[in-house]
Amino acid sequence: MTAARHKRKAFFRGHSAERLASFALMLKGFRILARRYRTRLGEIDLIARRGDLVLIVEVKARTTLEAAMDAVNHTSMRRIEAAADLWLARQPDRALLSLRFDLVAVLPWRWPRHVPAAFTSFR
Q: What values do phi and psi take at 41, rounded to 5?
A: -95, -20
Confidence (pLDDT) at 9: 87
Confidence (pLDDT) at 122: 59
Closest-CA residue to 48 (of 68, 23, 70): 23
* CATH of segment(s) 3-119: 3.40.1350.10
Per-residue pLDDT of the chain (123 residues; tens, 9 = 90+): 788 888 888 888 888 999 999 999 999 999 999 999 999 999 999 999 999 999 999 999 999 999 999 999 999 999 999 999 999 999 999 999 999 999 999 999 999 999 999 988 755
Confidence (pLDDT) at 123: 55
CA dist., res. 65 & res. 88, Å (int):
29
